[in-house]
Amino acid sequence: MTVFYIVLAIILVLYTGIMVPLQYAYISSMNERKKQTGKNHNELFDDMSFEEQQLHYNLQSSWWNWLPAIIATWIYKWRHKTG
């Protein structure tokens, strides 16, 4: 049974390691779009095409991606501190 947990932990670490840079790039691009358009998150989401909305859901809302999204958000906030 411990082998199962070790394999599961390795898969989780690998998945998180792969997804954090993707999440970070997505968060950066969304914040850049906010700055360029002057719109808030909800307005940006309303203006997205169906495909973009699905991409946003899969990257940000899927429970598989909660850990990479949190880590990427922390890294983004740490790198872009104001003050």
* 39 phi, psi to nearest 5 deg: -100, 160
Q: Does position 11 have pLDDT exceeding 80, yes or no?
A: yes
Cα–Cα distance for residue pair 40/13, rounded to 1 Å: 33
- The predicted model scores a pTM of 0.82
Query: Residue 37 CA to chain centroid, in angstroms?
Result: 21
Q: Does position 83 have pLDDT exceeding 80, yes or no?
A: no
Q: Does position 82 have pLDDT exceeding 80, yes or no?
A: no
What does the pLDDT average to over 7-30?
Answer: 95
- Give per-residue pLDDT as tens, 23-81: 999 999 999 999 999 998 888 888 889 998 888 888 888 888 899 999 999 999 999 98
Domain ranges in the chain? 1-81
